[in-house]
Amino acid sequence: MNTGKIGKVYLVGAGPGDPKLITIRGLEALKRSDVVVFDRLAGPQLLNHARQDAERIYVGKLPDRHTMKQEEINQLLVDLALQGKSVARLKGGDPTVFGRVGEEAELLRQNGVEYEIIPGITSAISVPAYAGIPVTHRDLASSFSVITGHESPDKLDLSIHWDKVTNATGTLVFLMGVAKIGYISEQLVKHGRSPQTPVALVQWGTRAEQRTLVGTLGDIEAKVSEANFKPPAVIVVGDVVGQRETLSWVERKPLFGQRVLVTRARSQASELVAKLDDLGAETYEYPVIETRLPDAAGNVQAIREALAQADVYDWVILTSVNGVEYFFRWLESEAVDIRRFHRAKFAAVGPKTAQELAQRGIRADLLPESYQAEGLADKLDGLVIRGQKALLPRGNLARELLPKKLRELGVEAIEIDVYETALSAPKDMWIAEMLEKKQIHVITFTSSSTVVNLLEALKLNGIDDPVAALQGIEIVCIGPVTAETAEKRGIQVTVVPQHATIDGMVEALAERRRIMRGE
């Protein structure tokens, strides 16, 4: 509905593909917009930063229609703004470098729509950098040119003055020119470049599929044909290509080339994502669980009654980071002073849970060597005394092993579900295609519920046989309990770390990759 107020359009450079290469200004515009207009050139994970209620409009190619024409995109931006909406138009790389931003901005201005052009990191410099190739070098090239290679040879000859371009700068960067590599090489040699001039093609730079092919102007066409090298790729011509041998960096990371599906709740995924990113993986967040406060009247009443008698507990046993967080949220909402638990010792299932406690000023009195319920149960045996009382603030899906063990030891175990774990099945237009094309290389499971919920979420996204869709993908489970859940459902587990922690998962995966590469 038209409110009479005209919206604003942000023409945002989304960077070359790695979602972390968007600018702060671009991210701010994305977060505040009512509508996001995007295509495949913008990293799909950037959409996670959009408002939950923001409309998402895909203008790329779909199975039932071709790519929306540029004129149609231009008009779409105008129409949305005239409806009073703020719009983020995500454009791959930098919008002013062969991004046709001039056409979009011109029509917006003609229709009285305010717009802002937000520069992005162009693939012309970032993709070579990720391949270890600087476009300039003090001793090799003091300037560079960025040239389109997308047109047909006759159009290239009209738009490129080969006699001037060939030797105008030390480095030549061609965007979208893989199909014309033979003609480009021929023209450069014809107009003065040596056939021995180094050439590099970097395919899907900054993405998990990044692949680099190196040759010379004299042999690169044959190498491209032999390697079946396909677009999209950036072409770099010049002596700077030789720097790759010493400056290659991202490809040396242990998890380079691995796209990892992270199924953990988005509120908790940041630590795992950061560690995977540091080791060179491309993470794809697809949270299949969410945690929330329980609202059932009976459940809330049980929590209140348990907290009301805080001074009678001998033990408070916490089996997850979520348990700690929600336990303290309930203490706050019920105005229960933590000092009322003065007689209780605190037990934590693992170091992260203990760390979460420590951040609230409480040092865990008990921490097992094995970071799971079984290890905690074994540790409690011999420490607890018959007749004692223990409080277990947990989630609704927690296993019964620990309270059962406590009761066998004569301890009264009071269980309260301080939080609920629920299915999250976000609609994702890429997930089915990525699984079908084997573009997901690793899946991480941090709990049994992530296993169960992923299978259900994939069904809701149109995948009839989720287990079959996961075949051939490396499956990393945080511990044996999660692995058992996966295997019972027909999923072949690849990695289970010695210690059931995020660090353990990441290290075990990295070590497996090193072994597979013979390092």
What is the structure's pLDDT at 151?
66
What is the structure's pLDDT at 26?
97
Per-residue pLDDT of the chain (519 residues; tens, 9 = 90+): 455 799 999 999 999 999 999 999 999 999 999 999 998 878 788 998 999 899 999 998 665 556 789 999 999 999 999 999 999 999 999 999 998 999 999 999 999 999 999 999 999 999 999 999 999 999 999 999 999 887 667 667 778 899 999 999 999 999 988 999 999 999 999 999 999 999 999 999 999 999 999 999 999 999 999 999 999 999 999 999 999 999 999 999 999 999 999 998 777 778 899 999 999 999 999 999 999 999 889 899 999 999 999 999 999 999 999 999 999 999 999 999 999 999 999 999 988 899 999 999 999 999 887 767 777 888 888 898 999 999 999 999 888 889 999 999 999 999 999 999 888 888 888 999 999 999 999 999 999 999 999 999 999 999 999 999 999 999 999 999 999 999 999 999 999 999 888 999 999 999 999 988 877
Residue ranges of domains in the chain = 8-121, 125-251, 259-288+424-516, 292-423
- Please tell me the number of Cα atoms within 13 Å of 30 on its side-chain side: 25
* Same fold across 8-121 and 125-251: no
What is the structure's pLDDT at 1?
44
Q: Which two structure tokens, joined as six digits, stand for 163?
A: 């006699």
What is the structure's pLDDT at 500?
86
What is the structure's pLDDT at 202?
98
Phi/psi at 482 (5° precision): -65, -40
149 neighbors 175 (Cβ within 8 angstroms): yes
Residues belonging to the chain: 519
Residue 87 pairs in a beta bridge with 9, 35
Q: Reduced to 3 states, what is the DSSP secondary structure of residue 454?
A: helix
What is the structure's pLDDT at 61?
67
Can you spell out the DSSP letters for 347-367?
EESSHHHHHHHHTTT---SB-
Mind telling me the catalytic residues?
39, 61, 176
What is the structure's pLDDT at 460?
93
Model pTM greater than 0.85?
A: yes
Give the Cα separation of 77 and 113 in Å (integer). Answer: 9
Place of tokens 């391949």: 131
* Cβ neighbours of 107 (radius 10 Å): 17
What is the structure's pLDDT at 64?
56
CATH fold group of domain 8-121 = Cobalt-precorrin-4 Transmethylase; domain 1 (3.40.1010)
DSSP H helices in 340-419: 351-358, 373-380, 401-408
Architecture of domain 125-251: 2-Layer Sandwich (3.30)
Give the Cα separation of 371 and 356 in Å (integer). Answer: 15
Domain 292-423 sits in CATH 3.40.50.150: no
* Residue 196 CB contacts under 8 Å (≥ 6 apart), including other chains: 216, 217, 218
- The CA distances from residue 285 to 260, 269, 291, 450, 469, in Å, are 8, 8, 16, 13, 18
- Give which of 391, 401, 311, 408 is closest to 346, Cα–Cα: 391
134 neighbors 128 (Cβ within 8 angstroms): yes
* Residue 308 CB contacts under 8 Å (≥ 6 apart), including other chains: 336
What is the structure's pLDDT at 66?
66
Percent of the chain as helix, strand, coil, to the nearest 5: 40, 20, 40
- Give which of 456, 518, 452, 515 is closest to 488, Cα–Cα: 452
CATH of 259-288+424-516, one of 2.40.37.10, 3.40.50.1000, 3.40.50.300, 3.40.50.10090: 3.40.50.10090
Q: Which amino acid is at 340?
A: R
